[in-house]
Amino acid sequence: MIPITHYLVVAAALFSIGLAVAVTKRNAIGVLLGLELMLNAVNLNLVAFSRHDPELLRGQLFALFVIVVAAVEVTVALAIVLRVYSHYRTIDPDQISELKK
């Protein structure tokens, strides 16, 4: 039986790495990869706490809805990325700065 603290530390590591990926990647799809990692870390926390709630499993239900919303988010984000690419010919977030000029 693994103590819950170990799950939480692993999830914290995954969340931090996902944040670093989302900040450092110079590509909109790389940012999406980081977001997926962060959502997975959150789900891992929910599942780990849900282990102590075997009658109702509320944590696992919440994690299920998080997975649904993550799928929706990545679908719409990729459609937007395709539109941005067809308009600017790049998906580097640093170069899409027309509103600043």
Partner 1 sequence: MEQVAFYGFSALAIISALFILLTRNLMYAAFGLFLALVGVAALYVLAGADFLAITQLLVYVGGVLVLLIFGIMLTRPADERPDAASRPNRVEVANQRRFWGILIAVVLFAIFSFTILAGNFALVGDVLISRSTIRTLGVELMTSHLLPFEIAGILLLVALIGAAYLAINRTPSA
| Residue 93 interacting with partner 1 (CB under 8 A) | no
Identify the DSSP state of 85: H
Identify the DSSP state of 98: G
Q: How far apart are CA 14 and CA 39, in angstroms?
A: 9
Total residues in contact with partner 1, by rule CB under 8 A: 73
The residue from 2, 97, 98, 100 that contacts partner 1 (CB under 8 A) is: 2
Closer to partner 1 at the Cβ: 20 or 99?
Answer: 20
Closer to partner 1 at the Cβ: 56 or 99?
Answer: 56
DSSP, residue by residue, 14-80? HHHHHHHHHHH-SSHHHHHHHHHHHHHHHHHHHHHHHTT-TTT-HHHHHHHHHHHHHHHHHHHHHHH
Site for partner 1 in 5-64 (CB under 8 A): 5-10, 12-21, 23-30, 32-34, 36-37, 40, 43-44, 47-58, 60-61, 63-64
| Residue 68 interacting with partner 1 (CB under 8 A) | yes
